[in-house]
Amino acid sequence: MTSTTDVTAPGANLIAGEESRKGTSTFRATDPSTGQQIGPQFHEATADEVRRATRAAGEAHRELRTWSGARIAGMLREMAEQLRAAEDELVATASRETGLPQEPRLRGELARACGQFDMFADLVERGTHLDVVIDHADDTSSPPQPDLRRMRVGVGPVAVFGASNFPLAFSVPGGDTASALAAGCPVVIKGHPSHPATSQVAGAALVRAAAAAGAPAGTVSLVQGAGTEVGEALVLAAEIRSVGFTGSPGGGKALARLAATRPVPVPVHAEMGSLNPVLVTQRALERRGDLIAEELAGSLVLGVGQFCTSPGLVFVPEGVAGDAFVERLVEHLSAVEPAPLLNAGIRAGLAQRLAATGGVTGVTVRLDGTPTQDDGPVVCAPSLFETDLATYRTNDELREEHFGPASIVVRHAAGATADVVPLLGGHLTVTLQAEQDEAEALVALRADLVETAGRILFNGFPTGVAVTTAQNHTGPYPAASDPRFTSVGARAIDRFLRPVTFQSTPDALLPDELKESNPLGVPRTVDGALPA
C-alpha cells in the first residue's frame, strides 16, 4: 500500500494527453461507507473539451490505422504494465470511492483488467481478428471472378462509458477500452462520476503508456461529468464511430436513441444487465438443495449484488424440497453482513424497485433489505421475495432488474420447467441447476434457453465471467442492445472492426496482411479453404 491515495490536486479531464479543467461545474466523489464527500473537486468537461478530445481522436485514428498489429500489441502491453505499476494507488482509490474491498475484489479486478490488455495484445499480434479471406481470380467461373482480398480494419474513434460497478475491469481501463484500442480505434472515455479519481489514475496510466508506445496524443482521452451533458456531447461528436456502454437499461436506451439522431448514426453497444434466471430442478433440490441455496446466496451478494450477472430470479418447484430450499436461502441471506451500495443513484433505484415488487399482490417479502434514504452512511442487506408463477406471469414489475442484493423466488408446479422458459424474456445468462443424469431430459428445453440468453450455464452460477474466446457476455434485448456482439472476451473486438475488400489490386498497393506472400504470417482463408 502506498500513501498516494489522497488525490489533493484538483481532479482533471485528460484531453489528448493533457490535464484539463475548463468547466465551471464541479462534483466530488462520495465515500459509500460514510456518505461523506471525499477527494478533490472534479471539473465537468465542457463542450469544447469534448470537442478537443474527439478531434484529437479523429487525428489519432489517421495514424493508428497505419500501425501493424505488432505495434498495437506493444501499446496494449505497455498499458497493462502501467496499470500494474499503479496498482496500489488504483486499488486504494477505487476502494475509497466504491466501498468495495481491496482484497481480493479490487486487486483481482485490476488483474482482470490487465489480463484483458494482454489478451488483446496476443490476439492482434497473431492477426486472427483481421479475418483475412482471399479469393483468387477465377476466369473459369461464370461470370469470371476477379481477385478479391478481404480484411478487417478499425471503425474509428470509440466513445466508452465506464460502469460504476466495476471501477477497473468495466470502466476506464476495462474491456471496451482494451478491445477498441486493439482494433486500432482511439477512445474517448466518459468516466463514471461515482469514481472520478479512480478514473483519473487509470486514465493517466493509459495516457503514459500510449505516449511511451509512440501513439498520437488523441489515442486516449478521459472526460468527466456528473450529469448527462458530457456523455450526450460525446455520443453526438462527429468523429465518434461506435459507442460502448455498460450500465442501466435507462442509460443504454437513452444513448441508443441519441446516437440514432446523428447525421451519421452509429451503433451503441449497450450491455444493460438482466435478471439472470436460475432454474432449479426437483432432482437437484432433492440431492443438493442445501448446497445450491448456500452457493446461490453467495452468488447473489457478490459485489453487494451489483453485478449485471447477479441471479435476480430463481424458479423453484413447489413442494417440500422446494420449501426447504427457500428456507435455507433465507437463512444464508439473513446471515450476510450489510455492505455499502456503490452510490446514491443505485440506492434510490433499488429502494424504488423493492417497494414496487413488495407491493405486488401475490408477492411475499421474505427478507426486506431496503436501504435507507438518509444522507448518512448506507449499508444494504439482501432482500428476497417469493411468489408463484401466475403472479410472475402477469406482473411486469417482476421482470425488471433489481440492481443490488435482491432476488425473486418464483414457485411453480414440479415438472413445469418447460412452461417457465418461454416466459423469461431476454437475459445475459440463464442457469440450470440440475443433475447430470437428467441432462437428456432437459434437451427439450435447450432451444428455448438459447432464445432467452447469451450464455447458458449448467450448475455453477452466473456471476463470474471468464475472459476467453468462447465467452459471450450479451443477450437478447433488453439484456443488450445487440445480441450479436459480446462485450467480454476476445470477440469483444468484433464490435469495432469492419471489413474492407480489395479487388484486382497489385501487391505493391495491398496492405501487408493481404499481400500474396503473407509477409506478416497472419491466418488467412484462401480460396474457401480453412486457415492454414
Q: Which is nearer to its own copies, 62 or 320 (CB)?
A: 62
SS3 453: strand
**Cα–Cα distance measured from residue 110 to residue 116, given in angstroms and rounded to the nearest whole number:** 10
**Stretches 85-93, 228-236, 393-401, 460-468: which one binds its own copies (CB under 8 A)?**
460-468
Q: What is the dihedral of CA 486, 490, 496, 497, to 10 degrees?
A: -120
**Stretches 1-9, 208-216, 300-308, 477-485: which one binds its own copies (CB under 8 A)?**
477-485
Of 486-505, binders to its own copies (CB under 8 A) are 486, 491, 497-505
Q: Which is nearer to its own copies, 34 or 65 (CB)?
A: 65
**Cα–Cα distance measured from residue 518 to residue 497, given in angstroms and rounded to the nearest whole number:** 21
Active-site residue, 87 included: no
Q: Which is nearer to its own copies, 343 or 452 (CB)?
A: 452
Q: Which is nearer to its own copies, 256 or 354 (CB)?
A: 256
DSSP letter for each residue of 27-49:
EEEEETTTTEEEEEEEEPPPHHH
Residue 473: CB minimum distance to its own copies, A: 9
User: Is residue 459 exposed (0-12), middle (13-18) or buried (19+ Cβ within 10 Å)?
Assistant: middle
Binding its own copies (rule: CB under 8 A), the pick from 52, 105, 107, 455 is: 455
CB 160 within 8 A of CB 180: yes
Binding its own copies (rule: CB under 8 A), the pick from 139, 140, 508, 517 is: 508
The reply to whether 226 sits near its own copies by the rule CB under 8 A is: no
Binding its own copies (rule: CB under 8 A), the pick from 88, 477, 515, 518 is: 477
Q: Tell me 111's DSSP state.
A: H
Residue 479: CB minimum distance to its own copies, A: 11
Q: Which is nearer to its own copies, 89 or 435 (CB)?
A: 435
Binding its own copies (rule: CB under 8 A), the pick from 250, 413, 446, 516 is: 446
Binding mask 150-189 for its own copies (x = CB under 8 A): x--x-xx---------------------------------
Of 38-97, binders to its own copies (CB under 8 A) are 62, 65-66
The reply to whether 509 sits near its own copies by the rule CB under 8 A is: yes
**Cα–Cα distance measured from residue 382 to residue 338, given in angstroms and rounded to the nearest whole number:** 7
**Stretches 14-22, 297-305, 325-333, 444-452: which one binds its own copies (CB under 8 A)?**
444-452
Which single residue is written with the C-alpha cell 439522431?
261
The reply to whether 133 sits near its own copies by the rule CB under 8 A is: yes
Neighbours of 502 (CB within 10 A): 16
The reply to whether 352 sits near its own copies by the rule CB under 8 A is: no
The reply to whether 456 sits near its own copies by the rule CB under 8 A is: yes
Crossing angle of helices 175-182 and 107-126, in 10° steps, is 20
Helix extents (H) in 229-379: 229-236, 249-260, 282-301, 320-334, 344-358
The reply to whether 511 sits near its own copies by the rule CB under 8 A is: yes
**Cα–Cα distance measured from residue 501 to residue 340, given in angstroms and rounded to the nearest whole number:** 52
Annotated active-site residue in 59, 89, 239, 271:
271
Residue 49: CB minimum distance to its own copies, A: 26
Residue 507: CB minimum distance to its own copies, A: 8
What does DSSP say about strands 26-31 and 524-526: parallel, antiparallel, or unpaired?
Answer: unpaired
Kindly state the number of chain residues that form the binding site for its own copies, as judged by CB under 8 A. Answer: 78
Annotated active-site residue in 49, 114, 185, 308:
308
The reply to whether 377 sits near its own copies by the rule CB under 8 A is: no
DSSP letter for each residue of 422-441:
GG---EEEEEEE--GGGTGG
Of 242-271, binders to its own copies (CB under 8 A) are 256-257, 260, 264-265, 267
User: Is residue 82 exposed (0-12), middle (13-18) or buried (19+ Cβ within 10 Å)?
Assistant: buried
Active-site residue, 308 included: yes
**Cα–Cα distance measured from residue 276 to residue 288, given in angstroms and rounded to the nearest whole number:** 20
Active-site positions read 271, 308
